[in-house]
Amino acid sequence: MGHSMANNIDYSTEPSAYLRYDERISAQWRDFLILVARVSIGLIFVMGGWSKVTGVESFTASLGRRGVPAATLLGYMGALSEFLGGVAIIFGFATRYAALLILLFTIIATLISHRFWEFNDPAAYRQQHTQFFKNLTTMGGTILLFVTGGGRLSIDRFLWRR
């Protein structure tokens, strides 16, 4: 009872012995994978932030139309935060602070722009629902970057080598 021999593995023994293989792979590739994660997360913010920085008047006007108070000030702050935070994440510069900045930016942007529950049109509802949960996923990624930091392949590591 409880003994399975599928794939010639005796699962009745301590399961952690079979699960440690992923830990070895994770440890061997950790720094490279953190770099890939940083670039993957940061890139969307660099691209989105750059379009906002270079079209800041249009961006601030869109915030004003949505009823955001102090739209001009917050538009400039948001555009710069998104762009510079994304750059910092990609290069691993002040990674934990950049991750918190991007997390805050994403929370605010999500609550301003992706309130799917306000849409009656099914297509618009689906689109905003998808964007909302994409942002929620991105928030999870920034939290993980806060926990891991920039890794060895980062400016942080170069500057704060111990």
Kindly report, residue by residue over 34-55, the tens digit of the pLDDT.
999 999 999 999 999 999 999 9
Which has the higher per-residue pLDDT, 26 or 31?
31
| Residue 1 pLDDT class (50, 70, 90 cuts) | very low
| In the chain, domain spans | 12-157
Give dist(CA 35, CA 157) in Å, integer: 12
Give dist(CA 92, CA 146) in Å, integer: 11
Residue of 100, 102, 73 whose CA lies nearest to 85: 102
User: Above 70 in pLDDT, residue 29?
Assistant: yes
User: Above 60 in pLDDT, residue 161?
Assistant: yes
127-143 core/surface letters (b: 16 or more CB in 10 A; e: else)? ebeeebeebeebbebbe
pTM: 0.81
- Residues above pLDDT 70, as percent of the chain: 88
Cβ atoms of residues 160 and 154 within 8 Å: no
Which pLDDT value is given to residue 162? 57
User: Above 70 in pLDDT, residue 16?
Assistant: no
